[in-house]
Structure 1
Amino acid sequence: MSTRSSAVASLHGRALAAYLAKPLMFTVLIWLSAAAGEVPIPGTPVPITLQTFMVMLASLMLDWRQAAGSVALYLAAGAAGLPVFAGGASTAALFGPSAGFLIGFLPGAVVTALLKGRGAKRADGSRTGLAGTLLAALRYFGASLAGGVVVVYAFGFVLQSALTHTPITVVAVASMGFVIGDIIKASIASLAAAGLSRL
């Protein structure tokens, strides 16, 4: 192998490693956000955690393939028996009341990443001003609402209703505290991601 082709292979190898490192980092962050603790909500078996925040942030900071890979790896770790879900749960959580929300993270991440659009940089790579950053944050917020709230909750409501034999309207009303919390998380994640995308 020539010196030039060796240098190109090395460059491609480093680029691939960097591309894969980000999703792996977010997988660990999603797990840490679940391990950080949970807040129970009266009337529902699903606790509040920071998982949705980290899934939204990952989806806003990564492309859709990386975001999907990160969430899929997280779910696979739990399915394999590692205690990565809220409360140190693993495989059983994928068959309990939280199952739909956990499973919904994957399509929710993909939808968010696909809808987010460009970051707070121009096409030539230069930074936008404050107005451009705020516009990016608004786009990110809309994408987070669509993927991180609408899609995730659609899966969560349907599966929780089926598993607990509770009408979906009752599940939805009992989950309103979560919805409000996740709208706040979406706004914080959007502002953070828009700011970070300028770097």
Structure 2
Amino acid sequence: MQSNTPAPAAPSSAAKSVSTARRIAAVSWKPLLFAVLMWVSAAAGEIPIPGTPVPITLQTFVVMLAGLMLTWRQAGAAVAAYLAAGAVGLPVFAGGASTMALVGPSAGFLLGFLPGVIVIALVKGGARAKGAAAMLLTALRYFAAAFLGGVVVVYAFGFLIQSALTGAPLMVVALASMGFVVGDIVKAAAASLVAAGLAKLR
């Protein structure tokens, strides 16, 4: 017996286009937001440290937050977009620098943001939102991830490339940058607490 029930209409090409656009917007606004935040954190000001040409900014804090709050693909896209903006000449780096910063003393730190943020996002694990103890464990795990990616990985790139570009011994570069390291460990702690708190709110 033949059924008289009409077959469901296939979605039109216009509907498919709208659906695709919405999916793209849903996954791309967060990386774009964090790319803008990285620029804002660089433009907000910098603190020079004697003995090193690289200033302190809040960029690493934003990079850590991106890794802790986004997937590794989104976090990587955010940093890649930020670096690409500077590479094409936009003044998005500290001090309003652009392309030349990617071949200057701070190049290694900037380039290290990309593998660093991906490491953070990959090793952070899931958030535990129920109870103070669970939030504390999440914050500790986030801190470990932020420290590994945002300090160890970023500074490995930064030290090696700065030493190669300036001709200074690696140990001298590392010792001159200890102020940055201490500051970024504090930023890792702050970022982990912020990300864990936001995860609990979600």
Give the TM-score, by structure 2 length: 0.91
Partner of 1:194: 196
Q: CA deviation at 1:10?
A: 4.3
State the SS of the aligned residue for 1:82. Answer: coil
Alignment size in residue pairs: 193
Change (3 A) 1:80 1:9: closer
How far apart, CA to CA, are the structure 2 residues paired with 1:96 and 1:8? 46
Which ranges of 4 or more aligned residues in structure 1 deviate by more than 4 Å? 3-12
How far apart, CA to CA, are the structure 1 residues paired with 2:14 and 2:198? 34
How far apart, CA to CA, are the structure 2 residues paired with 1:94 and 1:12? 35
> In the alignment, which of 122, 126, 138 is matched to residue 114 of structure 1?
122
> What amino acid maps onto 1:143 in structure 2?
A
Mapped pair 1:43 → 2:51: yes
Mapped pair 1:137 → 2:139: yes
Partner of 1:171: 173
Q: CA deviation at 1:64?
A: 0.2
> What amino acid maps onto 1:96 in structure 2?
G
State the SS of the aligned residue for 2:92. Answer: coil
State the SS of the aligned residue for 1:84. Answer: coil
Change (3 A) 1:9 1:142: same
Partner of 2:150: 148
How far apart, CA to CA, are the structure 1 residues paired with 2:62 and 2:11? 42
Q: CA deviation at 1:34?
A: 0.2
Mapped pair 1:58 → 2:60: no
Partner of 2:5: none
Deviations 1:114-136 (A, max 9, x none): 0100023xxxxxx4111111111
> Mind listing any 5+ residue stretches in structure 1 that lack a counterpart?
121-126
Aligned-CA RMSD value: 1.6
Q: CA deviation at 1:8?
A: 7.1
State the SS of the aligned residue for 1:193. Answer: helix
> In the alignment, which of 109, 112, 129 is matched to residue 104 of structure 1?
112
How far apart, CA to CA, are the structure 2 residues paired with 1:95 and 1:33? 21
> What amino acid maps onto 1:31 in structure 2?
W
Q: CA deviation at 1:100?
A: 0.2
Change (3 A) 1:19 1:170: same
Identity within the alignment, %: 67
How far apart, CA to CA, are the structure 1 residues paired with 2:149 and 2:98? 24
Mapped pair 1:184 → 2:186: yes
How far apart, CA to CA, are the structure 2 residues paired with 1:16 and 1:134? 34
Please identify the structure whose Cα radius of gyration is greater.
2
Partner of 1:14: 22
Partner of 2:4: none
State the SS of the aligned residue for 1:197. Answer: helix
> Mind listing any 5+ residue stretches in structure 2 that lack a counterpart?
1-8
Give the TM-score, by structure 1 length: 0.92
Mapped pair 1:90 → 2:130: no
How far apart, CA to CA, are the structure 2 residues paired with 1:170 and 1:49? 21
How far apart, CA to CA, are the structure 2 residues paired with 1:151 and 1:137? 20
